[in-house]
Amino acid sequence: MSSDAQTATSVPEQTMANPPRFFEPGEAFDTIQEITGRKWHLRIVYHLLEAGPMGFSALKRVLDGVSSKMLSESLSALEAQRIVAREIVSDQPVRVEYSLTDRGSALEPAIAALLQWDAEFDRVEDD
């Protein structure tokens, strides 16, 4: 047997492993959890996607059960995450409007996918 033939047969055949479906999340899950894991955050983003910019009182009306303190904290957290932008639209009386940033608007496909997943999961559970 030649040395080339010996080398070819002595090296075990390597199989190509399946490439990972996702990139290594690292700290991404922490950021995602901070934004989406809070009770009111996705609801706020959803309503801003549906209705566009809204004032504090309008958001409070559509978010059944949220306290003013919790809504204020949630909006501040979303603003710190660059999901929501806060704009003063009137000085007298002071009127503030909240809207989604480009980063916040980019959550639309993820929210749509989650809602679709829930609708499909509920159908499976009902069967």
CATH architecture of 39-126: Orthogonal Bundle (1.10)
Average pLDDT over residues 92-103: 95
SS (H, E, C) 11-60: CCCCCCCCCCCCCCCCCHHHHHHHHHCCCCHHHHHHHHHHHCCEEHHHHH
Residue spans of the domains in the chain: they are 39-126
Q: Predicted confidence band at 37 (pLDDT cuts at 50, 70, 90)?
A: confident
Residues facing 96 on adjacent strands: 88
122, pLDDT greater than 60: yes
Look up residue 40 and give its two tokens.
């009111």
Q: 96 vs 57, 75, 86, 91, 92, CA distance in Å?
A: 10, 12, 7, 9, 11
83, pLDDT greater than 90: yes
Hey, which of 11-20, 29-38, 89-98 has the most confident mean pLDDT?
89-98
Look up residue 122 and give its two tokens.
């509920």
Cα separation, 73 vs 39, in Å, equals 12
Residue pair 49/108 in contact by the 8 Å Cβ criterion: yes
Looking at residue 57, its amino acid is S
